Structure 1
């Protein structure tokens, strides 16, 4: 690529955007972005204006000649773009709060992307993302879509199966895990190589190499009981050493919902009585962040943004864009179509694995060892849930939604699944056009 880049950020009014802006400033020498469009919907106009003003101050302070465009016109933003980044929340944080509360009514874990909450969010978001993809197909057919929107694996799979858009799903957990392991081993992250295998938010680190030496067993020993190997929105209860050694891999933070189900549920039920769900906390953090962003003297990313939980978000996004633009051929862990990389899963599903990143996109690397049964069992079940979630999200198939939750380890009951799906549909009517017929039937 020789011309200056055009990048469109869908959901530009997000509180995460200053993190992204900082990344574009730091990488300008390797990523000559000419135009950066921040686009949002009418409901997000005020936040978009606040974030856009802060972004302009950040660019001005850095002396970076990126033309910043703030708009509610998505098609204008997408037209001719080289990269489109999606970081949207359909239904805003109010919908997230519902996603977390609905399952708790039935003594099931309420979490934004895992289980019931993930299904609700996927059902609302899939139609919007597919609509965005129609614009990309028409107005920027050569663009690469980088999807940061959760549940990232499900949305990436929907795009891969139902559009012609070049897409890569992205999450900050892989890069965060690498940074945490580097800290654990008291070394620089550049010295660390990790092999990851699984799906988004259900990913295992199966191999750790530092300075050319395989130290996987040492890391598993050090990680047992270690605090800090988690994310902002996932409580850290530690792992038992014997469990990690038998598993033979380091689970990601979200595995706690599966491996420590009773403890996590108990923590949530207790928290909802006092401080509320994670959505309540995030609403407070967001409110405080936007008050900071309004300050006309602020011209850099505030440190309080770390409380939002998006650590290394910018680094993950800009690493990927730079490697594609500069044809680097380096290795990153992203969400792509399986195509036989994980042999126990279908070829046409999304997986989160190590990939070589070059000008043609992301190319999955064959795993160095087969998936053992203690990982395979959970992986296959949750992937089947995701396949059904995609079907329900695209077509409005009510029975597919029920089947999805019936087999999910955090629900696992057809009676519960039906009640929860009915609640999801009832409380998200305006966001579920694909379920319109079912919504009328339940009235």
Structure 2
């Protein structure tokens, strides 16, 4: 099988290739095509992959190209992991929002809207090229904001696009570990939108073990989300929120921490990644060692401002393990290509799963996956407090999609103004002015 990775010069691509190297079964991926607009980044990541695959007899062959159509032809699976505007764009998104006193994170709040407005037109173009050149391919979307972008692409590709995020997987594994359960054997009741979901139960042998965790003060405060939100708030919710809900539940503290920080997460990653690719431009740099060193630092500093706001210090070593989005992607491909049935938390069209949203709204829920694709599992209704957040943010996503399609500046302002973390229509107008001045990719917002 041929796998095409869009954004193939991206830093996390070696995670995906590493997962592929462990798959030796019939029907595995035998060819990987990396596509990126930046030839230098492509070359750097290709070097890392070459060292990863050295000595592995059946390592997938790797090719690289800057031509999108060439990359897509003959693909069985397409990973979309693009970053429109690069890390420079992310850093600007954060800076402009914080200047207005609102959150600028890349998937949440004003920053997420700005990123979505830049990304949706490009993702839609990619979906159309996939439909034309590789109509039988399955698209696995990693591009943020993952739920919004998956919904945009689904309007072209239908159910042949599935979104992936490692946050729910990581949360489920941490909770299972605390409860002494095998995460691969447990049923994780998780529901919401991308970066806006709640773990409501962890079932082992037909019994929900989450109440046991919620009743144990020491255990509840012993892992990342427990320290981030605090045991008292988790017991009040009766659930464990995705870490990104810290931006909603402790918004004032998060914004203050971001404004006080020496630099934002985007600015930090911009400098870090630039240093990595600069180092990789030297012929004597050991590629894999440089990549591993950079990855370790990246993981250790994840959501540092939020932990600062919560007063919990650095991440524990046990919490540094990622959710393994590359493993989820591999399991998804196996399930589709070989009919190896799997249960995975994915971003898919709702199809009645959440009664408060229409059928085409992309949600993040457990899915049964087989050769026919990903099928969302019916879940219990959300409590009203969650309904409010989910429907409000989905409403914002729909305005972003409408603005991207129409080019309407007024609709883009509406998207900003309706977000729960933007507190004024006047602020929304200034945000859009700031973003359109900064990003050439928003020049289409005219009418």
- Alpha-carbon distance between aligned partners in 2 of 1:403 and 1:122, rounded to the nearest angstrom: 14
Provide Cα deviations, 1:24-71, integer angstroms capped at 9, x if missing partner.
101233652121100101xx2111101112212222232224221111
Q: Establish whether residue 23 from structure 1 lines up as the match of residue 13 from structure 2.
A: no
Q: Which residue of 1 aligns with 2:105?
A: 111
TM-score of the aligned structures, taking structure 2 as reference length? 0.89
- Alpha-carbon distance between aligned partners in 2 of 1:30 and 1:199, rounded to the nearest angstrom: 35
Q: How many residues align?
A: 420
Provide Cα deviations, 1:105-160, integer angstroms capped at 9, x if missing partner.
11111211101111111111111111111111111001111110000011011112
Helix, strand or coil at the partner of 1:33: coil
- Alpha-carbon distance between aligned partners in 1 of 2:201 and 2:26, rounded to the nearest angstrom: 31
State the superposition RMSD in angstroms: 2.0
Q: Which residue of 2 aligns with 1:417?
A: 428
Cα distance 1:221–1:178, how it changes in 2: closer, same or farther (>3 A)? Answer: same
Q: Establish whether residue 361 from structure 1 lines up as the match of residue 348 from structure 2.
A: no
Residues 421-436 of structure 1 aligned to structure 2 (within 5 Å): 421-428=432-439, 430-435=440-445
Q: Establish whether residue 287 from structure 1 lines up as the match of residue 297 from structure 2.
A: no
1:153 to 132, 144, 147: 147
Question: What are structure 1's unaligned runs of at least 5 residues?
Answer: 230-235, 439-443
Q: Which residue of 2 aligns with 1:12?
A: 8
Q: Which residue of 2 aligns with 1:93?
A: 87
- Alpha-carbon distance between aligned partners in 1 of 2:165 and 2:279, rounded to the nearest angstrom: 26
Residues 310-389 of structure 1 aligned to structure 2 (within 5 Å): 311-367=323-379, 369-389=380-400
Residues 131-280 of structure 1 aligned to structure 2 (within 5 Å): 131-164=125-158, 166-222=160-216, 224-229=220-225, 238-271=228-261, 274=262, 276-280=263-267
CA contact (8 A) 1:226 1:239 kept: no
- Alpha-carbon distance between aligned partners in 1 of 2:215 and 2:436, rounded to the nearest angstrom: 45
- Alpha-carbon distance between aligned partners in 2 of 1:298 and 1:27, rounded to the nearest angstrom: 23
- Alpha-carbon distance between aligned partners in 2 of 1:161 and 1:252, rounded to the nearest angstrom: 27
TM-score of the aligned structures, taking structure 1 as reference length? 0.89
- Alpha-carbon distance between aligned partners in 2 of 1:30 and 1:263, rounded to the nearest angstrom: 51
- Alpha-carbon distance between aligned partners in 2 of 1:293 and 1:181, rounded to the nearest angstrom: 38
Q: Tell me how far 1:175 sits from its aligned partner.
A: 1.3
Q: Tell me how far 1:401 sits from its aligned partner.
A: 1.5
Provide Cα deviations, 1:293-337, integer angstroms capped at 9, x if missing partner.
565644576254143346513112212112211212221010111
Cα distance 1:395–1:307, how it changes in 2: closer, same or farther (>3 A)? Answer: farther
